[in-house]
A and B are shown apart, each in its own frame.
Chain A
Amino acid sequence: MPSFKDVFEKYDWEALKADIYNKKAADVERALAKTNRDLEDFKALISPAADNYLEEMARQSKQDTLQRFGNTIQMYAPLYLSNECQNICTYCGFSLGNKLPRKTLNPIEIDKEVEAIKKMGFEHVLLVTGEANKMVGVPYFKKVLEQIRTQFANVSMEVQPLDEADYHELIPYGLHAVLVYQETYHQADYAKHHPKGKKSNFLYRLETPDRLGRAGVHKMGLGVLIGLEDWRVDSFFVALHLRYLEQTYWRTKYSISFPRLRPFSGGLEPKVEMTDRQLVQQITAYRLLNKDVELSLSTREAMKFRDHVFQLGITSMSAGSKTNPGGYAVAPESLEQFEISDERSPQEIAQLIKSKGYEPVWKDWDTALEYVTK
């Protein structure tokens, strides 16, 4: 059975890092002159040497994105179902050790949240939870999917990694996409940030996309949490992972997110800062490597930055997000997973998108396209 683990183990973090930092202007120029780029080109594009070429990278990224995705931006909203969590993650507001009231939405509360999200115009929803397998496991997810799948055109999930059999079980309930971020591909550092809970198993998480691919999910999302480790090396691993997955599970669509560590009450300071300029470099480098991958921008990022950067390679955006269970209607004042930066309403964001000559797309899937047996 193919596994990304076999690919991953061929790489050494430090050697890769040296390789990326040694890239020269000539390597960047060669990468920019090509139309089909490989991972060596990608290294050059995320290297410090590429900083001088940011304008050209942005220009090409914008053009490629327009051609492939048109003048459109897909809109989605997260729906936090639960903040219960058995893991300790040093950077997360829901971490086991944090003293906060724990909450898992019941069906009546979910209805209220769904109504509020629908009222804002959303047709694509992302379900989010911590990891508490007893209370918020496969039976709970099934019930939620059954309850909401007719209300939305498209349902995605960002929850704990599951077994392949679990994904097989959930997909027929209308689960379209699953997002699982590796957080960091630096194994030793991963161990430091995830000292307790099922999440401390680095390899189980690393092989989650393989399990999803075998289960035949329509789309999966990759990414790392930026701020834990050197972003250049981590984004190389994301690109490597993407290449492997595209070749292995060719029926699946892929998306990448690039969350930067955000403050939360009692939280960890980022070890590595990524500037706005560097985030633009990373986004455009992904696009220059891969013309088809979806790139998603969340409300973690600041207004002014989002206003501009969404035109440089992004294909989907969230708006009006609440990162606490019940945040839209049930319990707006409860503690969030992290503070969002862009607090504008979805309608304001849609207006902004239109003002730049793009169409905000609320619906880009239909339940009619999935022959659902459940």
Chain B
Amino acid sequence: MKNLKIANKLFNSRLILGSGKFSNPGLMSAAITASATELVTVALKRVNLGSEQDDMLEAVGSVDLLPNTSGVRTAREAVFAAEMAREALGTNWLKLEIHPDPKYLLPDPVETLMATIELAKKGFVVMPYVHADPVLCKRLEEAGAACVMPLGAPIGSNKGLKTLDFLQIIIEQSQVPVVVDAGIGAPSHAAQAMEMGADAVLVNTAIAVSGDPEKMAQAFKMAVEAGRMAYESKLGAIADQAQASSPLTSFIDA
């Protein structure tokens, strides 16, 4: 399996984990290990930025942190939060989430693009969460985003790849990695995204709220690997009818 490369960093794992919704830090830690992930998003609102000791950060352990700005509603708030995070957590990586709508947590395209332009200039590795909008993804790429993170379905909905046709266009056009974020509710959804050629997936609710988060994390790890391997081995085309066993044009060379 090829490595995933975001900015200048190589990853063996193509599964990014979210850290919300777990019933305790121990379970989260076990899920992180079982998933073999190398990047975990942490909501700024959940961690104690100023303090030495924090349960959440401890549970993430030595895996790379990806702070997210969940809770901000505008580009201005996002930039302010990003700078606070960079200072407090010592990383310039950022998952940019601007969803002014607290009900479905759908991302604001206008504010997200404005914030990406500014944050990229300030030297952040910006990973913006967006709707599966191919034009917006190209605009973000031009603005200096390190990858794009289009949604499969609303956050936490577990509905799978409802935006499939648009994800396909994004994957086809993108020159930065495409990480399918939000909506992935089962390992089969993750495998489907990877088979399509997504570079990585981000999963949280489906693992954290399952009956056995550790086992489910492992199931996702396997699904992501299987999907990626299938993609790299070039899947056969799907046909509506059986192929004729005697070729129709073989007479030409006969």
Contacts and interface: CB of A to CB of B under 8 A. Distances in A.
Interface stretch (B78-86, B127-135, B225-233, B240-248): B78-86
Q: What is the interface residue range for chain A against chain B?
A: 20 to 34
B102 A364 contact: no
Contacts of B101: 250-251
A66 B206 CA distance: 11
By secondary structure, the B interface counts as loop
Contact of A359 (B22, B72, B77, B88): B22
A292 B103 contact: yes
A366 B21 CA distance: 18
Given A366-B44, A368-B44, A70 B49 contact: no
Given A70-B21, A70-B22, A369 B44 contact: yes
Contacts of B44: 366, 368-369
A72 B156 CA distance: 14
A334 interface: no
Contacts of B81: 366, 368-369
B24 interface: yes
A66 B20 CA distance: 12
Contacts of A219: 102
Interface in B102-139: 102-104
B21 A357 contact: no
B80 A371 contact: yes
B2 interface: no
A75 to B, nearest CB: 13
B156 A250 contact: no
B102 A251 contact: yes
A373 to B, nearest CB: 10
A119 to B, nearest CB: 15
Given A67-B209, A68-B156, A370-B77, A363 B48 contact: yes
Interface string A341-369: 00000000000001001110101111011
A71 interface: yes
A374 to B, nearest CB: 14
Given A66-B209, A67-B158, A365-B71, A72 B21 contact: yes
Given A246-B103, A292-B102, A369 B69 contact: yes
Interface string B35-78: 00000000011111100000000000000000001011110110
A366 B156 contact: no
Interface string B3-38: 000000000000000001111110000000000000
A69 interface: yes
A366 B100 contact: no
B192 interface: no
B72 A250 contact: no
A68 B77 CA distance: 25
B147 interface: no
Contacts of A252: 102
Contact of B46 (A253, A358, A364): A364
A109 to B, nearest CB: 25
B23 A71 contact: yes
A251 B71 CA distance: 11
Contacts of B45: 153, 363-366, 369
Contacts of A253: 102-103
A369 B77 CA distance: 6
Given A71-B22, A71-B23, A366-B49, A251 B73 contact: yes
B208 A70 contact: yes
Given A363-B47, A366-B81, 19 more contacts: A68-B156, A70-B23, A71-B23, A71-B24, A72-B20, A251-B100, A253-B102, A354-B24, A358-B23, A359-B25, A363-B46, A363-B48, A364-B46, A366-B47, A366-B49, A366-B71, A370-B77, A371-B74, A371-B76
12 contacts: A70-B23, A72-B21, A72-B23, A246-B103, A251-B102, A252-B102, A292-B102, A359-B25, A364-B46, A366-B71, A368-B88, A369-B72
